Chain A
């Protein structure tokens, strides 16, 4: 059996979660390594009944960053370079798994392309492309365990795919048919968050719950460079540090918050923001799937061992617009896009596979066929999605009956009924 077909079996329809689990298992043993990396932060002893530690400020030492300025395990040319601290965390990644990571990245790029097309064809109201961020999303999501819980932004649809979210559910929100595509508890992933940074607090609170439960799962917050300026993200880091909550702050620095460049958000590297909170950080090449996976595994392991939160800055690039409603030519230089195209996450993994003799025509064709099949399923699911009904507007505002809403629903249903055909009345109503 070829590598290709085995990969397809493991990562085929309905079995995506199995892959998530498998990637996680073989690196549990490296506990000593993480202890070495663990940073001890001494804070004020006031209130603990002990002697005060030091003078004003009372904090000792800075929280270190692991791995240096930018961790890279695969160069843009596709060369595997060694990194003593990070290599051990991905040494178990087999050729087969590399191929499977490649397949996932190609598939989510295909989802992105198809969804963009669906928007252009009027089948979706909007779509936030993830083009360029495939390694960040797949590398991190594939490091997670099934019982870890993800709190995403709206751009993390690659992560959703990896968690096993149904393809139709990925676009449900963007067709305007719902505010949430999936039941969070079936895939352990919250639904898309629109308010920038709000989900970082949810992840932190969830992690506090994990802590109270005595579990060893981890909450992971996905957010972007713009979110690091939000109060909520900063408050989340305060809480996470204070309670040493098992949460990973996974920041995809894609360099742009709609039209605002990251330099407007921060005067320091985003990873350095974490040290002010006493949270250890890593800054990795977000277009390098192995570097991202290694960093995520380190952070998850630290959290599982009770050593608290970690901040990961995955340095990547939003190659597309903010959403399909955006026009980046109004604010960014075409040369910049070219520079980043040369660092493309999929092209570099392809080069690595090629160097290792893993990228044959059979493999390429199988991956393309898989991507096409996914795109076809996505399109069919999108255009055949049942329309919501007018009175659905009143559903789930409360979990218990509400006298105000019951009355309004009653009056509106009478109004609709007065037209004879409620659906027709509703469409006329909306057209006004």
Chain B
């Protein structure tokens, strides 16, 4: 149970700024995802929290106390890497008990807690196995047990599900979630997979090029993205230039009604967006209709994905599986008022 505060955290490598002025507050017991494409600075941030990397500037605080000068081995921020999980020269019991052994805990106590931990990660009786005898998922769970046994202040997971196949990912995700709740360990995990972040995290910190884009609950990234880049990362490229005027926007396709209490951009130039799953391919009434040309349609199993040309912008929309528009035809689509979200205009004049 540790409250983590990152204050103006910056890390430079020669001329490259890997992490730029990061400010983040992680609540005690929270599970936070650092999300972003590779090279966005998420792993660098993780390493700075562990102390394996020193920040160029800024501060890291655990429960209000700066830990920047506290060496890694005394900091209590335990890292689980995606590769090189277990010490290959030790059996499972020695791996899991490693942290306690380093702290000089008695062998009996270590044995007792190791078997407790193995119960927790649902691998009881695995004490004598060697790492190479375990599957990828089992290794992952042992690595988790080894980290949790020292009751870390902060648990850091580097792409915890990256090396697992689809079924195991699901299982592992549930396990991490359950254990994290049971132990209420403040946890941060790094991932480039937005689905993983959404399904696992209480809150997500999305980073591009070392800069924090948005720190929010998962649904906010779908419903209220801060920018077109954020929307794009969450697979929404449906954009349309617009000018907000109080309760409506004016676009080249005509005037559209918006929910003023939902959107947060002031009057002026904005970019309008509606997520693909919220676009109505079969209009329910006459409001907020826009003409769109059908470019392609792909059957996706549970829905039909239709690619549209909306005034020169390529949009995606999801329709029922029996929806079968003619390619090249112009059809009216409806942008429901409750699902219209406004993004700042890239010209900055919003």
- Chains A and B belong together in one complex: no
